[in-house]
Structure 1
Amino acid sequence: MVATRRAQQQRALTTRARLIEAAFDGLLEDGYAATTVGAVQARAGVARGTLLHHFPTRGDLMAGVVEDLVERRLEVLGTSLPAGPEVASWDEVVDLVWRALRSPAYTAALELWVAARTDPELRDALLPLQQRIFAAVHRSITLLVGEDHPQAPMLVQFTIDLLTGSHLAGVLEPRLGTDRVVEAWKVALRTLADAWDTDA
């Protein structure tokens, strides 16, 4: 009986993962408007009732995609840079954030956040996740550079905001000079970090 229940739970988890993966792929390839419940159902190869059992609404399904992006795809925050007592350099943090912004995970998340502006159901599904996600990402990056720097949270926020803006400006068409902006920010960030550390 216990083995049967575990097998059922495993099948349910596998089906849920397949649905999320199908929705994720749809967002990347076709955009939010085309990633309907029916399209995800067809892509995943499951019955409509099965999809609705796991995700009663489209908003629930997209919220599941966002949670997956945070829990699974953005694990890069904990694995890309040194672990333990060794901290990351500011240059490494800039590279990490820039790489994350150009990843498929961010592209899918961007589709959802833009759509949520005018989609009340999607907005209601994403709002409870938003602050938790932003706080978790910010906290993870801050920990990488060490908490002993007095202005680490502010410098991390500067980095995220500046690089996000640079990335969004080139979403439709790559902009010349963006790589130079990223490299220039590394220099400016090191200067700010050293100055504020000395002041403290």
Structure 2
Amino acid sequence: MVATQRAQQQRSVTTRARLVEAAFDCLLDGGYAATTVGAVQARAGVARGTLLHHFPTRSALMAGVVEDIIERRLEVLGDNPPADGPLAGSWDEVVDLVWRELRSPAYTAALELWVAARTDPDLRDALVPLQQRIFVAVHRSITILVGEDHPQAAMLVQFTIDLLTGSHLAGVLEPRVGTDRVVTAWKVALRTLADAWDAPA
């Protein structure tokens, strides 16, 4: 009996993961508008009743996808031990970390949801608390890279996120020439700001 229950639970977990994966792929391929219950059902290859058992509404399905996207983004943010060499633990790695996360498939899917959430209160309610986990993860990762002692670490991290996010979004519809140079230039500027603010008054 116990073995049967465990097998059923495992099947349930597997099916739920399959549905979330299908929804994630729908978001990447067709955007939020195309990520309907019917599209996810067809992509996952399950019966409609099976999908509705796990996610009774589209809002519930999207909430499940939000959680999955957050976990995917946390993987990118958390799996970044400082490299060996002269730049280990440097502000250059901060820029690389943020830039890598912005170009991940998980960020692309998140962007679809963030835009939709502007006019969807249920989706917005699901996103806001989970987004806080991303902010915490970013700052934890930065602390690992540069330490806890820099007096303006939070401000420099925010500068980096805002500037790189803007550069990334400006090239969403069509790649922009020169974006890589912007990233490289910000590394130089960030090191300069960090050194200036870290110097004794």
Assess same fold via TM > 0.5.
yes
Cα separation, 1, equivalents of 2:77 and 2:132? 17
Cα separation, 2, equivalents of 1:44 and 1:4? 24
Cα separation, 2, equivalents of 1:186 and 1:65? 33
1:99 aligns with 2:100: yes
1:116 aligns with 2:82: no
Residue 48 of structure 1, CA deviation: 1.4
1:189 aligns with 2:187: no
Alignment-mate amino acid for residue 133 of structure 1: I
1:180 aligns with 2:181: yes
Q: Residues 55 and 106 of structure 1: is their aligned pair in 2 closer, same or farther, counting only changes over 3 Å?
A: same
What residue is the counterpart of 1:157 in the other structure?
158
Runs of at least 5 residues in structure 1 that lack an aligned partner in the other structure: none
CA displacement, residues 11-48 of structure 1 (integer Å, 9 cap, x when unaligned): 11111110110000000011110110110011001111
1:15 aligns with 2:15: yes
Residue 142 of structure 1, CA deviation: 3.3
Of 70-79 and 1-10, more deviation after overlay is shown by: 70-79
Note the 1:23-102 alignment, pairs <5 A.
23-82=23-82, 88-102=89-103
Alignment-mate amino acid for residue 45 of structure 1: G
Residue 73 of structure 1, CA deviation: 4.5
Cα separation, 1, equivalents of 2:78 and 2:130? 20
Q: Residues 72 and 176 of structure 1: is their aligned pair in 2 closer, same or farther, counting only changes over 3 Å?
A: closer
The count of aligned residue pairs is: 198
SS at match of 1:63: helix
Of all paired residues, the percent bearing the same amino acid is 87
Alignment-mate amino acid for residue 94 of structure 2: V
Cα separation, 2, equivalents of 1:54 and 1:199? 57
Cα separation, 2, equivalents of 1:69 and 1:50? 22
